[in-house]
Copies of this chain bind each other. A is one copy, B any other.
């Protein structure tokens, strides 16, 4: 996995390339999303960030998230009308929403499957994004380490 300073540099570069600043707020928001690879909501991110930067405001968290999303550093995930979640996994992947625990799991999607999906579109339809999500229950819990 990428080290902290690597991702820090990625953030700085990606932002400054667009004339934006790598502010402490943006850095800490980005960091907490990378740290725990669940799919937190803005509120959850706000809570985690406040632990490290007690003066940050919720508005700033929303602003930072918007910037990160627009610059392709995090992904935005929506399940019906629930609060938006944020995902640090930039690989092409789908989401499994476990209704019993509320957890969201990443599901790998091979490139060839993505190609197959794109082929479903009639001629002339050009998709700039494909979203695939599952809803259900994620399996028997065994006494093994989960994460």
Residues of chain A whose beta carbon lies under 8 Å from any beta carbon of chain B:
76, 78, 80-81, 84, 94, 96, 99, 105, 107-109, 113, 116-117, 120-140
Contacts and interface: CB of A to CB of B under 8 A. Distances in A.
Contact of A113 (B96, B120, B128, B137): B120
Contacts of A132: 117, 130-132
B124 A135 contact: no
A13 to B, nearest CB: 27
6 contacts: A78-B78, A81-B84, A109-B120, A124-B138, A128-B135, A130-B133
Copies of this chain, whole number: 2
Given A78-B78, A78-B81, A113-B117, A134 B124 contact: no
A129 B128 CA distance: 23
A130 B134 contact: yes
A126 B105 CA distance: 13
A76 B84 contact: no
Contact of A125 (B108, B109, B128, B136): B136
B76 A78 contact: no
A53 B117 CA distance: 42
A124 B109 contact: no
A134 B127 CA distance: 6
Given A76-B80, A84-B81, A137 B130 contact: no
